[in-house]
Amino acid sequence: MKAMFNSTVIAESTATVVVEGNHYFPERDVHMEYLSANGETSICPWKGKAEYFDVTVEGETAKSAVWMYPHPSFLAKKITGHFAFWRGVDVTE
């Protein structure tokens, strides 16, 4: 799987975890230099507290286009250390 923004690969992995139709990429397969934490959070009733990141490539930014659960609930422990993408980031096979 690949996550791309502004014609640039942000993440690429053969080991994504699919939860609720979203591919979660392991941190080791994410190009963290394109991500910056933005302080936004949300709560999922069964996964826990998500933290959001902006993606910036060559001056273009996708706000809150990446999320992850730093300390997911026991039910979602398989996405610990994984990142998911949306809002302008294309995720394809």
Per-residue pLDDT of the chain (93 residues; tens, 9 = 90+): 999 999 999 999 999 999 999 999 999 999 999 999 999 999 999 999 999 999 999 999 999 999 999 999 999 999 999 999 999 999 999
Taking every pair of C-alpha atoms in the chain, what is the biggest distance, in angstroms?
38
Q: What is the pTM of this model?
A: 0.95
The residue range of the domain holding 6 is 2-92
Distance CA 22, CA 91 (A): 9
CATH number at residue 16: 2.170.150.40
What is the domain count for the chain? 1
Q: Which residues does 22 contact at the CB level (< 8 Å), separation at least 6?
A: 84, 86
